[in-house]
């Protein structure tokens, strides 16, 4: 493997901290174990490809992509798009829950005869 | 029969009282759903003799209509008319709208500004024609005016409508719900007044793209 480059040294420390942080969060009940494991696995994978970039090159070639860095880039974009989509759906759901709550309050107030003009 | 009118309202303090005064000549129960207006819409509507429900957070016209429908159903409504608060509709159209329901010919009656004589501005006419084609493609409903706020429902019709799209895409959603309910529906000619006020309060043409997106996305994601 040889000596680590500056980038590798910094990135590996960052990945290790992120890896540990996920597990610590789960241990402190800030995160579900399932979620923590998924994130930890992702950081472990990141650490592996930082230490041995030749892995991504091999996979990239297998898929017909020229460079390993391009493969990582494509995966990153896809992952982000998926993330946006999930968040969008969650916001939609949250909005419809707010609507149901606002509706229930409006109907309850009217049925209990609370005076609208005074509010 | 207990006839109810649901009026979704947002910042309509200057016109709401006269709209309610007109409606009171044709219906006994008027419920205004104030969608968190910044002005005195709620108190103006209350003084004019309407029952007022207030959304504590602005949720959009679709949400306001659904709130009004649920309230009217809980109060034992036999028929429910939805009527815009900006004065674009004519209260004198209510008997025309309710006739097919009383004659048990339909559970849902849609007001159309195109079946009778028409006074719709040219640009708006093209836009609404596009919306009609859109509705035919997406809902399979053959109507002449897909985006008219003036509608009437029998109790059974109102019970079949559960609006989930809170904002303006609810108009297309209602068409879907009518289609999937399988209930009989019909259109009747109504007048729509285009004044400076209603046109200022109304939807901008370009907004249609956003509404279409909301609608299509809403169909896809349940």
Question: Complex ipTM, two decimals?
Answer: 0.88
Residue of A nearest to B220 (CA): A89
Are A102 and B34 an interchain contact pair (Cβ–Cβ within 8 Å)?
Answer: no
Average pLDDT, chain B: 90
Please state the three-class secondary structure of chain B as a single string.
CCEEEEEEECCCCCCHHHHHHHHCCCCCEEEEEECCCCCCHHHHHHHCCCEEEECCCCCCHHHHHHHHHHHHHHCCCCEEEECCCCCCCCHHHHHHHHHHHHCCCCCEEEEECCCCCCCCCHHHHHHHHHHHHHHHHHCCCCCCCCCCCCEEEEHHHHHCCCCCCCCCCHHHHHHHHHHHHCCCEEEEECCCCCCHHHHHHCCCCCHHHHHHHHHHHHHHCC
- Partner A contacted by B74 (CB < 8 A): yes
Residue B221 in this model has a pLDDT that exceeds 70: no
* pLDDT for position B118: 64
Tell me: pLDDT of B33 over 50: yes
Q: Is B66 on the interface with A (CB under 8 A)?
A: yes
- Residue B59 CA to residue B63 CA, distance in Å, equals 6
Mean pLDDT of the residues in chain A: 91
The residues near A90 (Cβ < 8 Å, ≥ 6 apart) are: none
Band the pLDDT of A116: cuts 50, 70, 90: low
Shortest distance between the Cα of A5 and any Cα of chain B, in A, equals 47
Q: What is the predicted pLDDT for the residue at B204?
A: 67
Out of A89, A99, A116, the one facing B54 most closely (by C-beta) is A116
Calculate how close chain B gets to A96, using CA atoms only, in Å: 7
- Are the beta carbons of A60 and A70 closer than 8 angstroms? yes
Cα separation, A8 vs A19, in Å, equals: 16
Q: Given pLDDT bands bounded at 50, 70 and 90, which one contains residue A115? A: low
What average pLDDT score do residues B16-45 get? Answer: 96
Query: In this complex, do A106 and B51 lie within 8 Å of one another by their Cβ atoms?
Result: no
Q: Which residue has the higher pLDDT, B1 or B181?
A: B181
- From chain B, the residues in CB contact with A99 under 8 A are 59, 63, 166
Of the partner residues A92, A95, A106, the one whose CB lies closest to the CB of residue B55: A106
* B180–A contact, CB cutoff 8 A: no
How far is residue B41's CA from residue B13's CA, in Å, rounded to a whole number? 4
Q: Could you report the per-residue pLDDT of A56-84, keeping only the tens digit for each?
A: 999 999 999 988 889 999 999 999 999 99
Measured between CB atoms, does B57 come within 8 Å of chain A?
yes
**Nearest Cβ partner for B166 among A89, A99, A107:** A99
Could you tell me which of A74, A86, A107, A113 has the C-alpha nearest to residue B73? A107
The answer to whether the CB atoms of A102 and B59 lie below 8 A apart is: yes
The phi, psi pair for B111, rounded to 5°, reads: -75, 135
Task: Give A-chain residues touching B63 at CB under 8 angstroms.
Answer: 99, 102-103
pLDDT at A80: 96
Contacts of A117 in chain B (CB under 8 A): 42-43, 46-47, 52
SS3 content of chain A, % helix, strand, coil (to 5): 80, 0, 20
Residue B214 pLDDT exceeds 50 = yes
Q: In this predicted model, what pLDDT tens digit does every residue of B70-117 receive, in sequence order?
A: 999 999 999 999 999 999 999 999 999 999 999 999 999 999 987 666
Interface of A with B (CB under 8 A): 89, 92, 95-96, 98-99, 102-103, 105-107, 109-111, 115-117, 119
Residues of chain B contacting A90 with CB distance shorter than 8 Å = none
The verdict on a CB contact (< 8 Å) between B71 and A89 is no
> pTM of the entire structure?
0.84
- Alpha carbon B32 to its chain's center: 12
Label residue A119 by pLDDT band (50, 70, 90): very low
Rounded (5°) CA angle B174-B175-B181: 85
Give the torsion through C-alpha atoms of B163, B169, B171, B177, to 10 deg.
-40
Task: State whether B71 and A119 contact (CB < 8 Å).
Answer: no
Among B127-136, B148-157, B160-169, top mean pLDDT goes to: B148-157
Q: Do B67 and A106 touch (CB under 8 A)?
A: yes
Give the integer Cα–Cα distance in Å for B77 and A49. Answer: 66
Set of chain A residues whose Cβ sits within 8 Å of the Cβ of B54 = 106, 109, 116, 119
């Amino acid at each position: 493997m040889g000596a680590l480059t500056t980038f590798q040294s910094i990135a590996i420390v960052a990945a290790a901290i992120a890896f540990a942080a996920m597990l610590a969060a789960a241990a402190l009940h800030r995160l579900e174990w399932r979620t923590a494991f998924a994130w930890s696995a992702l950081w472990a994978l990141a650490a592996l490809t930082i230490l041995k970039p030749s892995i991504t090159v091999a996979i990239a070639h297998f898929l017909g992509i020229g460079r390993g860095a391009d493969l990582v880039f494509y995966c990153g974009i896809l992952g982000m798009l998926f993330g946006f989509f999930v968040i969008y759906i969650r916001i939609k759901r949250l909005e419809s829950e707010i609507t149901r709550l606002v509706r229930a309050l409006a109907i309850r107030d009217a049925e209990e005869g609370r005076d609208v003009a005074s509010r | 029969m207990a006839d109810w009118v649901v009026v979704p309202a947002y910042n309509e303090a200057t016109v709401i009282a006269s709209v309610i005064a007109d409606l009171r000549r044709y219906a006994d129960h008027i419920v205004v759903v104030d969608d968190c207006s910044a002005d005195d819409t709620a108190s103006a509507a209350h003084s004019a003799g309407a029952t007022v429900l207030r959304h504590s957070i602005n949720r959009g016209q679709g949400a306001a209509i659904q709130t009004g429908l649920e309230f009217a159903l809980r109060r034992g409504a036999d028929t429910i008319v939805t009527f815009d608060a900006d004065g674009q509709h004519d209260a004198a159209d209510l008997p025309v709208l309710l006739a097919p329901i009383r004659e048990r010919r339909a559970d849902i009656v849609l007001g159309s500004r195109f079946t009778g004589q028409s006074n719709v501005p040219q640009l708006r006419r093209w836009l609404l024609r596009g919306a009609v084609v859109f509705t035919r493609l997406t809902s399979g409903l053959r109507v002449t005016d897909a985006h008219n706020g003036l509608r009437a429902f029998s109790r059974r019709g109102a019970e079949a409508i559960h609006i989930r799209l809170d904002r303006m895409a609810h108009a297309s959603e209602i068409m879907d719900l009518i289609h999937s309910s399988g209930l009989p529906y019909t259109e009747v000619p109504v007048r729509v007044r285009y004044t400076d006020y209603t046109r200022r309060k109304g939807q901008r043409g370009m907004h249609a793209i956003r509404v279409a997106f909301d609608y299509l996305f809403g169909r896809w994601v349940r």
